[in-house]
Structure 1
Amino acid sequence: MSMGNDPFAILTKLRPPYNVLVLLCATFALSLIGTIFFCFTNTINDAILSNMVIRNNSVAYDMWRRPSVQPLMKVYLFNYTNWEDVKERRAKRLHVEEVGPYVYSQQLERVNIKFDKDKLSYNERNDFRFLPEESKGAHFDQVNVPNLPLLGVISKAKDMQINGFAQMTLNTALNFGNHPDAFVKLPVHRFLWGYDDTIIDTAKPILSLQGKLNFKKFGLLVTKNGTVSERLTINTGEVDKDKMNIIQELDGREYLPYWSSRDCNSIEASDGTIFPPSMLDRNKTLYVLYTNLCRRLPFVYENLQLHSRFIADGVQLMRYRMPLDVFDDPAHNAANQCFCELDTGLCPPRGVINVTACAMGAPALASFPHFYLGDPMLREQVTGLKPNPELHKSYLDIHPTLGIALNGKSTLQLNIQVRKTPMYTSLSFLDDGLILPVAWIDMGVDELPETLRSLVYHGTYSTAAVQLGLTVICIISLIVSGICLFVLFVRRRQKPCATVKKITEAELKPQLS
């Protein structure tokens, strides 16, 4: 029998190619899912961010524990050139000359680390190294600066209202101490990192300071070198990436104990190095906790920056700046009312904030350098101050995808207030309430290690290229498979149906013979 006339063979040839049809349908469905997946989600970015979660023994953990970035700390001191003239009534106002900067590189290491589910507790250990080639001045430069231990002890004695015998004992100790005057002449490195002062040792038992002073020698920055006492607890982002590197506790407390409102006592902030990318919204305010200022400070979005370090790569960073009214008095910034004294309601002048609670009881205040944007009275009391708006800005430049602060600058000034009592005569030539500028500090990052630059580049372009490539492949596959399916179904509908001719017994007999 001839197969050419076999009706069953004819029917087989007319069947549609089901294996091709199944393949096209599967390709179309997968391409559709992939297109939606890559076009409307940030899958690749989320995968990278999951690798930035601080897990034990991970690459992100190693980078966090001992950062390769070494910020520069530039210290500018105010040298009081005529304080003896003011004391002898040969001059009416104190005059200062800014000296420095004295530049130090900072190596941060996080120690005493303990994991608890998605929380991580630690202390910080800083190592500052003097950079003479970057500095404008030598470590042994002599400067006339306010006698901070003396001013602090007298202020503390005034607050405690100690009895007459204790006052006489303390006054005798102050007069016969190794630094009895309102100002002291010291080498720069001694003033910053520690010098012997008998005032502190004498005042400890009288003013109940024993155990509250975590240093043996007094220095402006002595508590910042070595292991910092504050213990921080952050969220690792393991469970919720929107909370990554957000501070949860400070020394076991969820709120600060200093101010009059829950918001002002809040510690919900970053340490300024990493922010959850979900927070990087132009309409949202970022917060950075400054433990030495007893509070967190806000940063608001300003613009996009093409930074010089990344011009060749074309990486744009989001710049957030500290608001200019952050240190204003309540009359100019109502939100700052809670930073005034709780019992009296007294507020410091515009442009300064009281940080006594974080200075072991010393009457310390913080401001922008040279009292920039502060009450003009602050600059009239002491001559020689010259605010510079370009130099005295504070900002952060943050990668919009990774949430890493790649550039930034923080400029803050430390001041001390004169608080007099008739019992202690060493401050008699100074006005009560006078605010003396001591130093201002510029913290910033000048260089980034190659490993971090590579991470930034790949986090910006490699991930975008991979996501774009997969999106294009899915779209092309969707279009091609869709066209093929359309053509196949159209051809099937246009093809005439096959008719099967009924073969009679008479016609079948000749073929069987």
Structure 2
Amino acid sequence: MGRCCDTVRGLIAGSVVGALVAVLGAILIPVGNNVIQSTVKKEAVIEPGTTAYENWVSAGAPVYRQFWLYHVLNPMDVVTNGATPEVKERGPYTYRTRYLPKENITLFENNTVSFSLPAEAIFEPSMSVGPEEDEVTILNLVVAGAFTVIPKPLHPVVNQLIKKTNSSLFQTRTVKEVLWGYIDPIQKTEVGVFFPYNGTYDGPYNIYTGKDDISKVSTIQTWQYNSKLSFWNDPYCDMINGTDASSFPPFLNKKKPLFFFSSDICRSVSAEYSGSHNLKGIEVYRYMLPPHTLASPKVNPDNMCFCRDKEITKDCTMAGVLDVSSCRDNYPIYISLPHFLHGSPDLNQAVLGMSPSEEHHSTYLDVEPITGFTLRFAKRLQVNMMYGHSKAIEVLSKVKDYTVFPVVWLNETAALDDETADRFKKELVSRVDMLENVQIALLSLGSASCVLLAIAACVVHRGRSTIA
């Protein structure tokens, strides 16, 4: 009888120990989370000596810009007969960009830091379909721009200049000239889709370091010394929201969108969570621009202040394009997603050859949810120009009015390499996984031991009672 009692007591004691082990595992959950949060908050601050600062000063992964130019297949038919233009994309022509570290970095006592982003582009032949000297027939930037920039009473003068220089609505240029600049025979100055670029700077930016409040880290305080834009003449559209998209405050919430400002499109946008992905063994949250980003104000009222010309946009019902002329020296430049993805049907009908694809033409960010670091991204934009009918300009006398014409689309991409991924996993992911495994093991072992030993004690106790 005494031996049986000892067995029951031992089983009960073991069950209690199992319960304590399970409790220890449960206790480790908040303790472990606090340790992780404390470490991340410390290392995510943008100041010398932190992991974030080292990655922030210079992009660790190479950043590439791929360009596809829209080659016009029927230029003479468009000009002489008013035919619908037909295009075929040529590309990619790939350049390495953003390989230079940030410059003029200045830390301030109010927990902000200012910097400038130098712009340089190096051609990558091995990642391109051909050399920069490849020729394409594209829209003539100056002739198209003259329709809007030059007042109509002066269109006869423009016509004489076009005829004198033997220019037309379309021109044949090399890829290098189209992208980075050439001397235009009409203006006698250098023009190009991205001219000037090399040797220029974006910024200066002033952002929060997160030292006093980690939820503000990387958030832009000012751009070009201003806390708001001056392009849209509206308090809402002129807001500068979020970061520059290279990183975000840590501990992401899937239900909340990420906000970022892009100087390429002269406005702030938001991205929404679309799913989780595995990137070299690291879980990342994918955020994508929602279709309503460039929706017409009739669909998305928040875009009303981005509608600048009701005649061109058909009383603000046109979707898919953003008039950025106010921040591009009043040139009639329109930004869209490639191939007018999510745009109005009129856009695709006005130019033949468009093939919008969600997979190939949408913009996304892959962000590590604990640190907020963007580990992979694809920023896809299309540069368009607008031209229209003009009785006084012969090369525009037969064309249809108000055509938003595609010139080039780009895909700016970057992803962490294997070495960076291994270091990231070693410094963060492996520690988090180890802590979680210990927590799970203690909870599982403790709970199982507690339950099994308690059952065993009950069985033994019942057996003793039956014998008695």
**Helix, strand or coil at the partner of 1:350:** coil
**Helix, strand or coil at the partner of 2:215:** helix
Equivalences, count: 420
Report what 1:253 is aligned to: 226
Contact 2:377–2:415 (CA under 8 A) maintained in structure 1: no
Q: Which runs of 5+ in 2 are unaligned?
A: 1-19, 446-468
1:49 aligns with 2:21: no
Q: Please, which of 115, 118, 122 is the counterpart of residue 122 of structure 1?
A: 115
Q: Please, which of 142, 164, 187 is the counterpart of residue 176 of structure 1?
A: 164
CA change 1:457–1:127 in 2 (3 A) is: farther
Q: Please, which of 320, 328, 337 is the counterpart of residue 304 of structure 2?
A: 337
Tell me how far apart the structure 2 counterparts of residues 114 and 200 of structure 1 sit (CA, whole Å).
40
TM-score, with structure 2 as normaliser: 0.81
> Partner amino acid for 2:238?
N
Report what 1:86 is aligned to: 78
> Partner amino acid for 1:100?
G
> Partner amino acid for 2:169?
A
Contact 1:328–1:351 (CA under 8 A) maintained in structure 2: yes
Give the Å deviation of 1:438: 0.8
Q: Identify the structure with bigger relative contact order (alpha carbons < 8 Å, sequence gap 6+).
A: 2
> Partner amino acid for 1:111?
E
**Helix, strand or coil at the partner of 2:395:** helix
Report what 1:270 is aligned to: 243
1:302 aligns with 2:274: yes
Give the Å deviation of 1:449: 5.4
Report what 2:428 is aligned to: 459
> Partner amino acid for 2:126?
E
**Helix, strand or coil at the partner of 1:461:** helix
Contact 1:70–1:108 (CA under 8 A) maintained in structure 2: no
1:103 aligns with 2:94: yes
> Partner amino acid for 1:254?
S
**Helix, strand or coil at the partner of 1:383:** coil
CA change 1:408–1:372 in 2 (3 A) is: same
Contact 2:181–2:196 (CA under 8 A) maintained in structure 1: no
TM-score, with structure 1 as normaliser: 0.74
Tell me how far apart the structure 2 counterparts of residues 390 and 254 of structure 1 sit (CA, whole Å).
35
Contact 2:67–2:92 (CA under 8 A) maintained in structure 1: yes
Q: Please, which of 422, 444, 448 is the counterpart of residue 413 of structure 2?
A: 444
Contact 2:118–2:202 (CA under 8 A) maintained in structure 1: no
Give the Å deviation of 1:173: 4.0
Q: Please, which of 227, 236, 261 is the counterpart of residue 289 of structure 1?
A: 261
Give the Å deviation of 1:170: 5.3
Tell me how far apart the structure 2 counterparts of residues 198 and 116 of structure 1 sit (CA, whole Å).
48
Q: Which runs of 5+ in 1 are unaligned?
A: 1-27, 202-215, 477-513
Report what 1:4 is aligned to: none
Give the Å deviation of 1:148: 1.0
Tell me how far apart the structure 1 counterparts of residues 49 and 162 of structure 2 sit (CA, whole Å).
53
Q: After the TM superposition, which residues 71-470 of structure 1 pair with which residues of structure 2 at under 5 Å, given as runs?
A: 71-89=63-81, 92-106=83-97, 107-117=99-109, 118-158=111-151, 172-177=160-165, 180-201=167-188, 217-278=190-251, 280-307=252-279, 310=280, 313=281, 315-341=282-308, 346-347=315-316, 349-446=318-415, 448=417, 450-465=419-434
1:69 aligns with 2:61: yes
Give the Å deviation of 1:172: 4.3
- Seq. identity, %: 26
**Helix, strand or coil at the partner of 1:242:** helix
Contact 2:83–2:399 (CA under 8 A) maintained in structure 1: no
**CA shift digits 1:430-452 (9 cap, x unpaired):** 22211111111112225525135
Give the Å deviation of 1:171: 5.0
Which structure has the greater CA radius of gyration?
Answer: 1
CA root-mean-square deviation: 3.1
**CA shift digits 1:302-332 (9 cap, x unpaired):** 111123xx2xx3x211111110121110122
Tell me how far apart the structure 2 counterparts of residues 296 and 348 of structure 1 sit (CA, whole Å).
21
CA change 1:200–1:289 in 2 (3 A) is: farther
Tell me how far apart the structure 1 counterparts of residues 78 and 112 of structure 2 sit (CA, whole Å).
55
Moved over 6 A (4+): 342-345, 470-473
Give the Å deviation of 1:466: 5.2
Contact 2:156–2:393 (CA under 8 A) maintained in structure 1: no
Contact 1:413–1:437 (CA under 8 A) maintained in structure 2: yes
Contact 1:151–1:362 (CA under 8 A) maintained in structure 2: no
Contact 1:155–1:420 (CA under 8 A) maintained in structure 2: no
> Partner amino acid for 1:243?
K
Tell me how far apart the structure 2 counterparts of residues 153 and 109 of structure 1 sit (CA, whole Å).
38
Tell me how far apart the structure 2 counterparts of residues 296 and 381 of structure 1 sit (CA, whole Å).
29
Which stretch of structure 1 is more off in the superposition, 377-386 or 444-453?
A: 444-453
Contact 1:123–1:229 (CA under 8 A) maintained in structure 2: yes
Give the Å deviation of 1:82: 0.8
CA change 1:269–1:439 in 2 (3 A) is: same
> Partner amino acid for 2:291?
L
Contact 1:38–1:467 (CA under 8 A) maintained in structure 2: no
Give the Å deviation of 1:225: 3.0
Tell me how far apart the structure 2 counterparts of residues 192 and 88 of structure 1 sit (CA, whole Å).
27
> Partner amino acid for 1:326?
T
